[in-house]
Amino acid sequence: LEQTQERFDVGLVPATDVEEAQATYDLTRVNLIVAQQQYDIARDQLESLSGQRWETLSELKDELPMQGPQPANMADWIDKAQAQNPQVLAARYNSELTENTAKRQLGAQLPQVQFVAQYQHSHTAPEGNSAAGFSTGVNPDSESKQIGVEVTMPLFQGGGLNSRRKEAALRADAAVFQYQQALRDIIQQARSAYRTVESDALRVSARKQAIRSARSALEATQSGYEVGTRNVVDVLNAQQALFAAERDYANARYDYIINSLTLKSTTGDLQQGDLAGINQWLSDTNTLNIYQPDLEGRSDALVPDARY
């Protein structure tokens, strides 16, 4: 904007160029405000989630094992998801439960045959001899045994038995359909998560190469600025391209980590050790002060003395 204003003052550019530069400057300020707001919100969410205030955070190491899903076979992940996913297991157990309930309701309409047996033994204590000296003649012990077969059959209960049987059968069918739908969903989710992690690995590699290219372009532009063939705006544009490449690279690595955990979660294989392994990816020396990140100082270090 400053360069365009000076060129306008000497009559080299029309007023429309100044207005366009002013619009670009205002839009950049808005984007900066939004970015700072998102940064502050993310920092507050971290403190809310962890329950403590953080002054610094460890950065990711430069070299990380981001080759893609391991094992590199989609079928293995799908099989594991069908066998271990909690939602699929819950749907399967619910299907088995409703099927057994339907069988029980069906059995309630069938004849029931029961084998019964009973044995009783009673003992009566003698009351002693009578006044005449004769015994009462009461037998103190008695036994009884009964063995038989009972057959019961519900003939009619106002249609209640048949309606409960139909309801249980329909619920069993619905549970089967829900289980099948859960299987289809988890297969689709496993495929999507696998492909996402696979593409994230390629994206990380490509973004890293983009940083090298952008840094080389910035160095070439700075060299041209020093010999007078480029102006400071060209340097700023090259610097902006480098920062954009670094931002995209950071986002790609973040997406890879999150999507890798999502893939394991989809297969029901996410363990505490996986999170501990991610912690090993953090640097022991490189940290970021999240309250004073000094991003402006880093930006100024890449810009030569302003001269147009």
Q: Domain boundaries in the chain?
A: 68-109+161-287
Residue 68: the pLDDT is 87
Q: Are 250 and 23 in contact (CB under 8 A)?
A: no
User: Distance between CA atoms of 20 and 26, rounded to whole angstroms?
Assistant: 10
Q: What is the CATH number of domain 68-109+161-287?
A: 1.20.1600.10
Residue 126: the pLDDT is 62
Alpha carbon distances (Å) from 192 to 188, 197, 257: 6, 9, 15
Name the burial class of residue 4, with classes exposed (0-12), middle (13-18) and buried (19+) by CB atoms within 10 angstroms of its CB. Answer: buried
Contacting residues for 209 by C-beta, under 8 A, at least 6 apart: none
Residue listed under structure tokens 């971290």: 46
Residue 137: the pLDDT is 56
User: In 3D, which of 213, 232, 227 has the Cα closest to residue 300?
Assistant: 232
Q: Are 58 and 282 in contact (CB under 8 A)?
A: yes
Which pLDDT tens digits describe the chain residue by residue (308 residues)?
988 999 899 988 899 999 999 999 999 999 999 998 999 999 999 999 999 998 888 888 888 888 888 888 899 999 999 998 999 999 999 998 998 888 888 877 788 889 999 999 887 766 555 455 455 555 667 888 999 998 887 777 667 777 888 888 898 999 999 999 999 999 999 999 999 999 999 999 999 999 999 999 999 999 999 998 888 889 989 999 999 999 999 999 999 999 999 999 998 888 888 889 888 999 888 888 888 876 665 656 655 554 44
Q: And the tokens for 73?
A: 């076979």
User: Distance between CA atoms of 253 and 284, rounded to whole angstroms?
Assistant: 18
Q: Residue 38 phi/psi, 5° resolution?
A: -65, -35
R_g of the chain computed on alpha carbons: 40
